[in-house]
C-alpha cells in the first residue's frame, strides 16, 4: 500500500549542471522545496519529484514551474538526484536505503492489517490509524508499527489498559507490531501541538478502521493545511475486526463499572508514570509523556523534540554553507 503522495512520477529525470549556470528564478518556491528536503533529510529519506511538490508548503504549484525550480536547485548544486530521487549532500546510498525500506514496508503491512483488526475489536476503540514510519511507506529492521487510536469519551484509559495488558500477556510486551503510543478520545479530536513534526505525523496517518471518523478528525485539524496545503487524505486498507465481541464487552462496561475502571486506571497509570519519570518531568511539551483524561501520548527518548532540533540545525547549516536563506519565505 502507498499513500496518495507516493503515486505517480515526474517525467523530469534531473540534469546536473555546473554551479552558476542557472539562477533561482523563484526563490520562495526553491526555499519551500529545500525546507521539505531538509526536513526529510533528518530521516535520511530522499524524495521523488512528486513528493517534493506535494509535501511542500507551496499551495498553488504549477508543475512546470516546480520542475524548473528543481532544475535550478540542481544547477546550483544545492541538491543531488539519483534514480529519480532528490536529496541533500553527496550520499546516494540514501536512495538504495529508501528503496529497501519501501519494500519492507509493503511486507510489514500484513502485520499492520492483522493487528489493526485486533485493536479495532477492543471495546471503545472508535478509530485505528497507522502512524510512524510505516505511514510514510518505509520500515527498517528496527522499526515498530505505530498506531494512533481514537476512543470513546470517558473510556480512553480503560481501553488503553486492556490494549497494554493484551500486549504484555499475548505479545510478551513486544512493541514490534503493537506500539500504541498515542490515544485521543472522540470529544477532543483537535491536536493542540502544532509544528512540522506533529503536522507530518498527523497528516500522513493511514486509516485502517473507521474512515468516516478519520475524515471528521482531519476536518477538525484543518490547521494541517498550513504545513501541507496540497496533501490529500491518506488511503488505508479498512479492517473490521470482531464487532460481535466488541459489542458484548461494551454492553458489559458501558455503565458505572466502566466509569469506575476508567478513573481507576487513569489514577494508577498517573502514579506509575510520575514515580518512574518524576513529577516534574511529565506532561510538558518537551517531555516524554503527555496525558490527561482525554489523551495519552508517549514520546520515547524525546524523539519529537530531537527531530525538531535536528531539523533546525540542518536549516542553519544549509544557510551558513550556501548563503541562501530558506527559513524566511
- Tell me the three state secondary structure of residue 182: strand
pLDDT at 20: 38
Sheet holding 85-87, edge to edge: 47-48, 85-87, 80-82
- Tell me the three state secondary structure of residue 167: helix
- Average pLDDT estimate for 181-202: 95
Q: Tell me the pLDDT of the chain averaged across its residues.
A: 89
Range name among 80-89, 168-177, 182-191, 227-236 with the lowest pLDDT average:
227-236
Q: Is residue 47 pLDDT above 90, yes or no?
A: yes
C-alpha cell at 3: 499513500
Residue 83 CA, distance from chain mean position: 25
Q: Is residue 8 pLDDT above 80, yes or no?
A: no
Predicted model pTM: 0.89
Among 75, 67, 25, which Cα is nearest to 50's?
A: 67
- Tell me the three state secondary structure of residue 183: strand
Amino acid at each position: 500500500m502507498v499513500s496518495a503522495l507516493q503515486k505517480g512520477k515526474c517525467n523530469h529525470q534531473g540534469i546536473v549542471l555546473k554551479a552558476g549556470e542557472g539562477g533561482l528564478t523563484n526563490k520562495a518556491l526553491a526555499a519551500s522545496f529545500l525546507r521539505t528536503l531538509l526536513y526529510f533529510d533528518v530521516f535520511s529519506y530522499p524524495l521523488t519529484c512528486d513528493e517534493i511538490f506535494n509535501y511542500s508548503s507551496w499551495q498553488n504549484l504549477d508543475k512546470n514551474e516546480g520542475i524548473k525550480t528543481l532544475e535550478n536547485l540542481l544547477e546550483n548544486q544545492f541538491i543531488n538526484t539519483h534514480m529519480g530521487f532528490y536529496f541533500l549532500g553527496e550520499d546516494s546510498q540514501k536512495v538504495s536505503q529508501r528503496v529497501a525500506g519501501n519494500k519492507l514496508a509493503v511486507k510489514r503491512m500484513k502485520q499492520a492489517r492483522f493487528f489493526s483488526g485486533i485493536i479495532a475489536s477492543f471495546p471503545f476503540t472508535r478509530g485505528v490509524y497507522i502512524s510512524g514510519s510505516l505511514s510514510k511507506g518505509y520500515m527498517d529492521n528496527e522499526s515498530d508499527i505505530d498506531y494512533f487510536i481514537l476512543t470513546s469519551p470517558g473510556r480512553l484509559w480503560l481501553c488503553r489498559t486492556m490494549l497494554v495488558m493484551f500486549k504484555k500477556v499475548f505479545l510478551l510486551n513486544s512493541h514490534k507490531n503493537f506500539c500504541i503510543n498515542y490515544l485521543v478520545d472522540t470529544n477532543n479530536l483537535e491536536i493542540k501541538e502544532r509544528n512540522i513534526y506533529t503536522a507530518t505525523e498527523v497528516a500522513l496517518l493511514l486509516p485502517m478502521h473507521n474512515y468516516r471518523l478519520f475524515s471528521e478528525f482531519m476536518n477538525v485539524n484543518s490547521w494541517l493545511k498550513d504545513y501541507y496545503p496540497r496533501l490529500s487524505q491518506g488511503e488505508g486498507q479498512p479492517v473490521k475486526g470482531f464487532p460481535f465481541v466488541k459489542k458484548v464487552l461494551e454492553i458489559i462496561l458501558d455503565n458505572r463499572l466502566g466509569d469506575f475502571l476508567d478513573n481507576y486506571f487513569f489514577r494508577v497509570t498517573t502514579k506509575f508514570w510520575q514515580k518512574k519519570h518524576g513529577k516534574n518531568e511529565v506532561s510538558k511539551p518537551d517531555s516524554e509523556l503527555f496525558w490527561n483524561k482525554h489523551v495519552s501520548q508517549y514520546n520515547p527518548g524525546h524523539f519529537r523534540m530531537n527531530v525538531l532540533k535536528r531539523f533546525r540545525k540542518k536549516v542553519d547549516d544549509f544557510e551558513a554553507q550556501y548563503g541562501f536563506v530558506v527559513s524566511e519565505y
